[in-house]
Amino acid sequence: MEIFPAIDLMNGEAVRLTKGAFDSKKVYSACPEEIAARFRAEGARHLHIVDLDGARSGENVNFSAIGKIVAAAGIPDIEVGGGIRDEKRIETYLALGVNRVILGTSAAENEKFLRDAVRRFGGKIAVGVDTLNGKVRTRGWERECDLDGFGFVKKLSDIGVETVIYTDISRDGRLQGINADMYAELARISSARIIASGGVGSLDDVVKLRNTGVYGAIIGKAIYENIVSVSEAVKTGDEYDS
């Protein structure tokens, strides 16, 4: 299983939120590119970046910071999400050196745009499915829509989306563990690569996720709070399931 250390950005700073609440922001660094370089030094092969301001407003708020991160990271696989709602922005991020862009609000609200993006960019398109109580939320997690999370994931597979980042908002940033049964079911019903997000608080959680069959796991707060190191997580993710 692949490990995706996370860098969430607000106003150019690396932050973490609890359950997606913007007023719960905790700033960890004013130089997120330094964090990315440290992740690489600790063995990270992947990096997950989110422009939280962009997710909320749809504006390209943290583009400069993301450019610095990509330049400094030296990490083979980088994905970026947050406020990507037109093809021009997809092109801009790919030209920057990002490997994959994550569509969230735009995927949930505009199926034609999603289908066109997948047709044009193929595996460069991932979709973030952010759910609370089983329902998809958009606009920086502040708006609930009518989509059922599992049903949406099945539809994304039919559309041809190759990578889905599925976030359990109720556990995000709380370090209280993951819902292993939920991710095992997602891995079973979807042909897409499932990347789990929300709740990793220990290496035991990494083992549980690895054994569900998901492709990857995003780890944020547990790394920033020095509970789990990137190197330990990568090693655990690489271990053969027993």
- Give catalytic status of residue 204 as yes or no: no
pLDDT at 240: 64
- Residue 241: band (very low, low, confident or very high) from pLDDT cuts 50, 70, 90: low
Task: Write the CATH number of the domain with boundaries 2-238.
Answer: 3.20.20.70
Ordered alpha helix ranges (H), the chain: 32-41, 52-57, 63-73, 87-96, 105-109, 111-121, 149-159, 180-189, 203-210, 221-224, 230-238
- Given a cut of 50, whether residue 27 has pLDDT beyond it is yes
- Given a cut of 50, whether residue 15 has pLDDT beyond it is yes
pLDDT at 242: 46
**C-beta of residue 143 within 8 angstroms of C-beta of residue 20:** no
The string of pLDDT tens digits covering residues 161-173 is 999 999 999 888 7
Computed over every residue of the chain, the mean pLDDT equals 94
- Give catalytic status of residue 8 as yes or no: yes
H or E element: which one contains 75?
A: none
H or E element: which one contains 62?
A: none
pLDDT above 90 covers what percent of the chain?
A: 83
Distance from C-alpha of 209 to C-alpha of 217, rounded to nearest angstrom: 7
Q: What's the rounded mean pLDDT across residues 195-212?
A: 95
- Given a cut of 80, whether residue 204 has pLDDT beyond it is yes
**Which has the higher per-residue pLDDT, 77 or 175?**
77
Q: Which of 8, 51, 53, 172 is catalytic?
A: 8
Q: Which of 51, 53, 130, 205 is catalytic?
A: 130
**C-beta of residue 17 within 8 angstroms of C-beta of residue 53:** no
